[in-house]
């Protein structure tokens, strides 16, 4: 989201930036109103989390093979393999998630599918970022109240996630609404 934001601001197209939160909001709305299957099951949530974690794991593994002389030909090959592995692993989990969205929402408008796919990815990453950053603030804070503030934020975000999860893992509700067998 940072790169499209920078490009839009450089081109003077800041009005376009409103599209991103509107698409995310629309996708979440479609899921909460059971118009579309947002997350078919918990496995889909983990596939999206894997989209962020797998490239980091590939990076760490490939970096362990990096030679000390970073200007060598071998270092260039290791960097290329590292980038290809990171892109492939992120694409693998992204394709699995999009495939689940398309299969569970046959007959749904293409723009709705795009909004749901974008929303479900952003939602997982926002919740993960908020949970990790609040826990990090709680554990590494320098001020005396940082532990308390971080844990309160962690508890609030976790509670919102716990409340939201049964509403957006909604395959059975959507199929009942469409009068289909699940």
pLDDT tens for each residue of 90-121: 788 778 888 888 888 888 899 999 899 888 88
pLDDT at 29: 94
On whether residue 9 sits in a domain, the answer given is no
How does the average pLDDT of the chain come out, rounded? 81
Tell me which residue has tokens 């071998």: 74
* Measured distance CA(55)–CA(49) in Å, rounded: 11
Residue 161 sits in which domain range? 120-170
176 occurs within a structural domain: no
User: Is residue 22 in a domain?
Assistant: no
CB-based burial, 83-105: b 16+ in 10 Å, e otherwise = eebbeebbeebbebbbebbeebb
Supply 72's token pair.
Answer: 């060598």
Give domain status of residue 83, yes or no: yes
Domain count, the chain: 2
pLDDT class for 16, splitting at 50, 70, 90?
low
- In degrees, rounded to 5, the angle at the alpha carbon of residue 137 between the alpha carbons of residues 129 and 148 is 120
Query: Which of 104, 137, 155 is where one domain is finished?
Result: 104
34 falls within a domain: no
CA distances from 107 to 32, 112, 120 (A): 19, 11, 19
96 lies in the same domain as 72 = yes
Look at residues 80, 104, 128 and tell me which one is the last residue of a structural domain.
104
pTM of the predicted model as reported, rounded to 2 decimal places: 0.72
- Within a 10 A sphere around the Cβ of 1, how many other Cβ atoms? 11
What is the pLDDT at residue 36? 92
Spatial separation of the C-alpha atoms in residues 139 and 148, rounded to whole Å: 10
Q: Is residue 27 part of a domain?
A: no
pLDDT of residue 1: 54
Q: Are residues 52 and 88 in the same domain?
A: yes
């Amino acid at each position: 989201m940072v790169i499209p934001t920078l490009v839009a601001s450089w081109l003077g197209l800041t009005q376009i930036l409103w599209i991103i939160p509107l698409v995310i909001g629309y996708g979440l709305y479609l899921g909460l109103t059971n118009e579309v299957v947002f997350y078919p099951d918990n496995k889909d949530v983990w596939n999206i989390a894997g989209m962020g974690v797998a490239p980091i794991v590939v990076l760490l593994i490939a970096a362990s093979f990096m030679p000390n002389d970073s200007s060598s030909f071998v270092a260039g090959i290791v960097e290329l393999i590292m980038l290809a592995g990171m892109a492939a692993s992120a694409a693998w989990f992204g394709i699995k998630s999009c495939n689940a969205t398309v299969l569970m929402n046959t007959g749904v408008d293409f723009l709705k599918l795009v909004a749901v796919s974008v929303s479900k990815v952003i939602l997982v990453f926002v919740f993960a970022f908020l949970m990790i950053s609040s826990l990090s603030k709680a554990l590494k804070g320098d001020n005396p109240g940082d532990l308390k503030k971080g844990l309160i934020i962690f508890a609030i975000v976790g509670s919102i996630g716990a409340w939201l999860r049964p509403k957006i893992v909604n395959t059975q509700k959507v199929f009942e609404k469409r009068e289909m067998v699940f």
